[in-house]
């Protein structure tokens, strides 16, 4: 489990794949890796991955084909910045919301604007996720715990808006203003996930 509070922005130092093998990433981080055990979970831009090796200030993870297919295109390329969060420990402050590190779908940035010191984002969502996004509810975008400002449904689909305060932008990959059309990993709120399963069974 995670909270969606990003504690480091890492960078993919290398990405390689052997024949019939998962994608192996080496991620550069500021984390004290002496305190990170092999087998530990680290959320990488919203995806829960297992540390399989360490070397200096880099850790390695294996990304399965299933994870690659279900996440934002291009996010596992060498040089890509990643929002990093270590797994929640019993007794830690829950500053964001409960996040599982399982991506539910890929949205697309449809509008960006600036108001005061904050940045506004509008994100278009896949139709199957639309019923589980609500105004003032929680959503995880590329691993970041955020609050939905508003939701709009029309003939063009469903879009929701977010307000990104300067602190959040400074300490996450959102320091680089997203481009229109940029894909982003989305995880719906845990309660909405269970409601989705109940709906699927009932239908």
Model confidence pTM above 0.85: yes
Residue 91: predicted pLDDT? 66
Is 27 among the domain residues?
yes
CA atoms within 13 A on the CB side of 58: 13
The tokens describing 93, both together, are 């402050």
Q: What is the CATH number of the domain that holds 46?
A: 2.40.30.20
Note the helical H segments in the chain.
Answer: 65-70, 166-170, 190-202
Is 96 among the domain residues?
no
170 plus 82 within the same structural domain: no
112 plus 196 within the same structural domain: yes
Grade residue 197 by pLDDT with cuts at 50, 70 and 90: confident
- Domain count for the chain: 2
Is 92 among the domain residues?
no
195 plus 127 within the same structural domain: yes
Is 113 among the domain residues?
yes
Is 99 among the domain residues?
no
Residue 18: predicted pLDDT? 72
The predicted-structure confidence for 77-102, as pLDDT tens digits, reads as follows 999 999 999 998 766 666 778 899 99
121 plus 189 within the same structural domain: yes
Range of the domain at 35: 8-86
The predicted-structure confidence for 124-181, as pLDDT tens digits, reads as follows 999 989 989 999 999 999 999 999 999 999 888 899 999 999 999 999 999 999 999 9
């Amino acid at each position: 489990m995670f909270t969606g509070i990003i504690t480091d922005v890492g960078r993919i130092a290398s990405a390689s794949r052997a024949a019939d093998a998962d994608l192996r990433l080496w991620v550069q981080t500021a984390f004290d890796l002496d305190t990170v055990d092999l087998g530990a979970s680290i959320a990488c831009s919203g995806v829960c991955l297992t540390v399989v090796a360490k070397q200096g200030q880099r850790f390695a993870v294996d990304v399965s084909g299933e994870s690659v297919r279900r996440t934002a295109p291009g996010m596992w390329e060498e040089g890509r910045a990643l929002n990093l969060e270590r797994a929640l420990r019993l007794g830690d402050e829950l500053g964001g919301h409960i996040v599982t590190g399982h991506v539910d779908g890929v949205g697309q940035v449809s509008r960006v604007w600036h108001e005061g010191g904050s940045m506004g984002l509008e994100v278009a969502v896949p139709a199957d996720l639309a019923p589980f996004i609500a105004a003032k509810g929680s959503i995880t975008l590329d691993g970041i715990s955020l609050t939905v400002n508003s939701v709009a449904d029309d003939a063009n689909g469903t879009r929701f808006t977010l307000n990104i305060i300067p602190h959040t932008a400074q300490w996450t990959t959102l320091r680089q203003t997203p481009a229109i059309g940029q894909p982003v990993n989305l995880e719906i709120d845990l309660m909405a996930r269970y409601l989705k399963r109940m709906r699927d069974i009932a239908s």
